[in-house]
A and B are shown apart, each in its own frame.
Chain A
Amino acid sequence: MLAWTIYISFLGTLALMLLKLSAKTARSIALLAAIAGFAITAYDLLHSANGTMTTIVHRSWIPPLGIEYHLAADGVSLVLVLLTGIVAIAGVLFSWNIEHRANEFFALYLALIGGVYGVFLSADLFLLFVFYEIAIIPKYFLIAIWGSTQREYAAMKLALYSLVGSAMVLIVLVAAYVVAGAKTMSLLELSQFPFSLHFQMWAFPLMFAGFGILAGLWPFHTWAPTGHVAAPTAASMLLAGVVMKLGAYGCLRVAMVLFPQGLDPWGFSALGLASWRDVFSLLAVIGIVYGALVALVQQDFKFVIGYSSVSHMGFVLLGLMTLTRVGLTGAVLQMFSHGVLAALLFAVVGRMVYNRTHTRDLTALGHLHLNKAIPFAAITFTLAAIASIGMPGFSGFVAELQVLIGAWNAFPIYVLCAGIGIVVSVAYTWRALQKAFFSDSAPESTTHALPPISMPERLGAVMLILASLTVGLYPQLLLNLLIPALSSPLFDGLRKGHWQ
């Protein structure tokens, strides 16, 4: 059943590519496809999902190489598939005004969604890699054609970063295939193969960093702010909302599951670092603080949100490196939370504000008195800001709390640093909020009425806020899926070595 999330998306792409449709029909088809994906996921969650790994489709694909078309889902995938469904619907709602080559826009949009669903549902690593690559291509065109500031540059930078990352992943995948020698790319089987410690020690960091690039791992994060800024609203929502999660998902699902011993101590220490776990958690914490600090001095509204994504994704990576169950559930919750909130923030900045004012300069926005001109945008951004600084009640709080609880035993100092990142996040969020919406500066002489916030925008914003609130108030909804998943045999390797 869940496989249809992928098929419907690609069928939508096909329909939009082949048929000559008006913009109105095109977006309706895209919306229907997105809603169908979400509905299928919701149905599955309500009826059959218990969080453990369940095969959906399993066929032979390239028999000589032992490569299979194998789709399966466990709690971790389901949470992210659900996130994709939510963000996909919101993304279409916030692209309701796209008129320029709408057919192609929504075709590429659905292709991207389909690729993302595919990555989250693949249980064969070759298949996963194929979907991972499929997701990169539409991203490039969405930015290069419909983007703004420096769009060619940003699109190329994003594509190159992604391809370098996937090259690193591919090298390790091929090596693992050859070393295991079992003629299989199956995640489940490879995860049981005892790779030698020496192999894991180089394979793990290469693959983790390869996936980490897409998750905004510092210092490979610079694609993210420029990419987010240049992308059209829906693309930046997807980029921050789900594409960055592809990277984090790969880190957990592939790198950590295949090579758990890569996290073991090296046996020596350099600069106070004694394992890849230390290295990556340090990078994660640097990302948290660094992203927050850079966000504090940006003049471009979208750059503030772009850098805040780097900061928030640091919590995901830190959560993964805690190697505790609570840290891992926190990391996946943070993926969900950041996905929803980043999508909302980009929607407000890109669609509600930039499409109306044609400026993202915080000082220029200060002259427009947006809280009076578009009060709905001001309220939405205030709520999104409150949620993203980790206010209890919204999803960010429970996610970050779990990450910090998980990290406390292993790295108390990093918890302190991450906490400082949270304090700085308050500063940059309030700064942007006040400058953009509640500024007191004198109105410019040429004030013209802004178009009111449309119904699709309202629906999308309410949906994202509700998603964040639901998880924030009742996180058990997702934890019911995550905890059985993380207790499954797939994560045995991690559990044996480190689990606390």
Chain B
Amino acid sequence: MTWIVRNLWLIPALPLLAAALSALAHRRHRLFAASAAIGSMTLSLLLCLIAFAEVLRLVSQEHIARLPFNFDWFQVGSEWLKLGWVLDPLTAVMLVMVSFVGLLIFIYSVGYMAHDDNFTRFFCFLSLFAGAMLGLVIANSLLLLFICWEIVGLTSYLLIGFWYQKPSAASAAKKAFITTRIGDLAFLLGMVWLYSQAGTLLFYNYGAGCLEQAALMKLVTQTTSLGIAASTGIALLIFCGAIGKSGQVPLHVWLPDAMEGPTPVSALIHAATMVAAGVFLVARAYPLMAAHGGGLGLSLASAPALKVVTWVGAITAVFAASIAVAQDDIKRILAYSTVSQLGYMMLGLGVGGVAVGMFHLITHAFFKALLFMGAGSVIHGCHEEQSIRRMGGLRKLMPITFATYAVGMLALCGFPLLFSGFWSKDAILHAASTWGVSRTPFYLATLGVLLTAFYMTRQVLYVFFGESRRPEAHATSPHESPGIMTLPLVILAGCSVLLGLIGTPAWPWFSAFINGQHARFELRGFAESGVLTVMFSSTAVLLIGLGIGWLLYSNRLNAESASPDAFEQFSPSLFNLLRNGWFVDTFYGATFVRSAAWFSDACDWLDRWVFNGMIHLISRLTLGASRLSRSTDAFAVNRTFDQSCRGAALSGRLLSRLQRGRVQSYLQIIGIAFAGFVLFLIWGHHG
């Protein structure tokens, strides 16, 4: 076992250490906090690259590229519960992505948060997040993954509510945490169930892990009372956790609200890394997801859990994209777009396997982080303005931001050949088109491409083209952001283009690497059935989306910011429906939130009036019994007593008369008695 495998824990430990140090630092120590965070992240990135190189070496030597390292944590009954980490291609890829994107966003944050009072606290939370996220990636145990999963959720809460003075931020933070906790509850149940069935939560443990043959064989053969295999039940429960974290329908409602956090947070946590953790979880637990009665992952199409993953992903992809077309807030558009793209990743996992979903995860992380940081640059330049309706004409004022944003936009839409998003999205579409169960997910995904192109065109036109629509009150004009913010943008834009090269059908290096194989360069990859058809059809759909967006919005760019949106004029009711996100929030508020409140009130009432009432009743009854006893005392016992006392006193008085000490009366009585006695004797004998 090599050095890096034994010391993989250093990768999350370094940012955690930085978090601990800056937690203890005074808020004045801004430079210290930033350099601790960036320094530790740089070291982590270096270690991640070493780990990546190690996996590359193993893959090239055709070794089994999966190296777990496990250790005991605590005893559960008589057995030890183990935790551990694992180095394999999946870990390596994620490690490099998270630490690289994280580092860029850390650097960017120095510029973005420069004027914030709580700069130190911000970097403390960011480092804590990075540590937990890297821990999540290396975890070789579902429990360790869950632990890190909870901590990233916590940091997400802390960072969404970073500006807690804003009521909207405070409530968004609460909403995010509670909504994801609902998914986490199912995840926890799935984990407990898995533990009770498999007896271990380690993923890989030289044949004894829960993702390995022996445990899976056991899980697929056990059926529950509901008639589904234990493996399916567990997989679905764990997937619920992923639904919550990755903002899939129906738990997507928290992610758009989470945009209340500072923009670097949105870029790092709510676009590139944490929200993708759900996708990563499905990828990590893929053997479990793909297990089904007919065998282990022989044909992906027939694994029930993966069918659910596919449908949820496909529906989310279209649903969220449809909402994005009617939003005005630059970050909310990107948030719905993130939800939609996460849906694509889930779809990719469901229909095409780990490599397809993960490739989109990686490319998306780069271009979405780019878009968010570009949006942050725009917001920063426009003095905290977030509505795209009140922007406009920024192309000339913010040239670097515009150029990089355009790259991100084209990558997100999947513009052909040059942009990474094209290749990763195309792999998903191609896999969906060949899915054995249904073609509907493919059509949904294609519709999603159209919507994505449309809403991104609308956004870019509103923000960067035309004339400025800012209200006159703002005196200062928008300005380009400082170099510390634009440099990361340029680097990310470069990555958004170049990453496409490693996942083309001609040289599918990425998917080969994930599966621990060699990739060969073969142009024949394009000739495989359906590949080119899908490419052309998706490109056509994309161009239609771009065209519609251009037609609708290009000639209305100089309209007043208050005038109705072009789409709104086209169909006000549909626009309103989409703008309000299909009224899902309203629905949840009217049902779940209200019923929870009702239940709480009912229980409170029960406690106040029934249980306390019962206590009062008992105390009243006791008091009543006491009163009763008292009256019995007073009227029955006491009276009898008093009367007997009185009686006793009377008789005493009577008797005492006999003893007054007067000799005359004694003699009197003796005399009378004597006389009586004599009379009695005389009469007695004669009668």
Contact = CB atoms under 8 A, between A and B. Distances in A.
Contact of A475 (B74, B157, B181, B612): B74
A207 B74 CA distance: 33
Contacts of A157: 615
B196 interface: yes
Contacts of B146: 392
Contacts of B177: 426, 430
Contact of B181 (A329, A386, A426): A426
B182 interface: yes
A440 B603 CA distance: 29
A434 B74 contact: no
Contacts, number: 111
Interface of A: 157, 219, 221-222, 225, 290, 293-294, 296-298, 324-326, 329, 386, 391-393, 397-398, 401-402, 404-405, 408-409, 412, 415-416, 419-420, 422-424, 426-427, 430-431, 434, 438, 440, 474-476, 479, 483
A431 B604 CA distance: 16
Interface string B249-286: 00000000000000000000000000000000000000
Contact of A298 (B72, B147, B604): B604
B650 interface: no
A430 B603 CA distance: 20
Contacts of B147: 392-393, 397
B189 interface: yes
Given A479-B75, A483-B75, A405 B192 contact: yes
Given A293-B599, A408-B192, A419-B188, A479 B74 contact: yes
A424 B593 CA distance: 11
Contacts of A326: 76-77
Contact of A386 (B154, B173, B174, B596): B154
Interface stretch (B161-169, B206-214, B561-569): B161-169
A391 B153 CA distance: 10
A434 B603 contact: no
A294 B597 CA distance: 10
Contacts of B182: 423
8 contacts: A222-B611, A290-B603, A293-B604, A297-B601, A325-B77, A408-B193, A440-B165, A479-B75
A434 B193 CA distance: 34
B230 to A, nearest CB: 12
A422 B183 CA distance: 12
Interface size class on chain B is 35 or more
A298 B72 CA distance: 42
Contacts of A438: 161, 164, 170
Contacts of B73: 475-476
Nearest to A389: B181
Contacts of A391: 150-151, 154
A420 to B, nearest CB: 7
Which of A225, A290, A298, A397: most chain B Cβ within 10 A?
Answer: A290
B261 to A, nearest CB: 15
Contacts of A409: 196
Contacts of B74: 398, 474-476, 479
Interface string B607-618: 100011001000
Contacts of B173: 430
B128 to A, nearest CB: 11
Interface of A is mostly: helix
Contacts of A422: 181, 185
A372 to B, nearest CB: 10
Nearest to B184: A423
Nearest to B171: A434
A293 B185 contact: no
B22 to A, nearest CB: 14
A500 to B, nearest CB: 8
Interface string B61-77: 00000000000111111
A438 B611 CA distance: 33
A297 B185 contact: no
**B74, B78, B604, most chain A CB atoms within 10 A:** B74
A424 to B, nearest CB: 7
A325 B597 CA distance: 37
B660 to A, nearest CB: 56
A420 B599 CA distance: 13
A329 B75 CA distance: 10
Interface in B134-164: 143, 146-147, 150-151, 154, 157, 161, 164
Given A476-B73, A479-B74, A296 B178 contact: no
B659 interface: no
B600 interface: yes
A296 B188 CA distance: 23
Interface in B178-204: 178, 181-182, 185, 188-189, 192-193, 195-196
Contacts of A401: 143, 192
A393 B20 CA distance: 14
Given A325-B78, A404-B188, A294 B607 contact: yes
A420 B596 CA distance: 11
Kindly list the 8 A-B residue pairs having the minimum CB-CB distance in the complex, ordered from nearest.
A392-B147, A325-B77, A326-B77, A296-B600, A419-B185, A293-B600, A293-B603, A297-B600
Contacts of A419: 185, 188-189
B164, B603, B612 interface centre (most CB from chain A within 10 Å): B603
A326 B192 CA distance: 12
B499 to A, nearest CB: 33
Contact of B170 (A222, A427, A434): A434
Given A393-B151, A405-B195, A476 B75 contact: yes
B174 A430 contact: yes
Contacts of A476: 72-75
Contact of B164 (A293, A415, A426, A434): A434
Given A219-B611, A297-B597, A440-B166, A402 B76 contact: yes
Contacts of B599: 293
A426 B178 contact: yes
A329 B78 CA distance: 11
Contacts of A297: 597, 600-601, 604
Nearest to A398: B74
A488 to B, nearest CB: 14
B406 to A, nearest CB: 38
B619 to A, nearest CB: 8
Contacts of B185: 419-420, 422-423
Contacts of A290: 603
A416 B189 contact: yes
A94 to B, nearest CB: 23
B192 A415 contact: yes
Contacts of B72: 476
A398 B74 CA distance: 9
Given A157-B615, A405-B192, 9 more contacts: A222-B611, A296-B600, A326-B76, A393-B151, A398-B74, A412-B193, A427-B174, A431-B174, A475-B73
B189 to A, nearest CB: 6
A324 B154 contact: no
A401 B75 CA distance: 12
Nearest to A392: B147
B28 to A, nearest CB: 14
A427 B174 CA distance: 8
Nearest to A390: B150
A405 B189 contact: no
A293 B193 CA distance: 26
Nearest to A220: B611
Contact of B76 (A405, A424, A431): A405
Contacts of B189: 412, 415-416, 419
A222 B192 CA distance: 32
A440 B170 contact: yes
Contact of A222 (B77, B178, B615): B615
Contacts of B78: 325, 483
B497 to A, nearest CB: 39
B600 A294 contact: yes
Nearest to A435: B170
Nearest to A369: B165
Contact of A324 (B77, B192, B195): B77
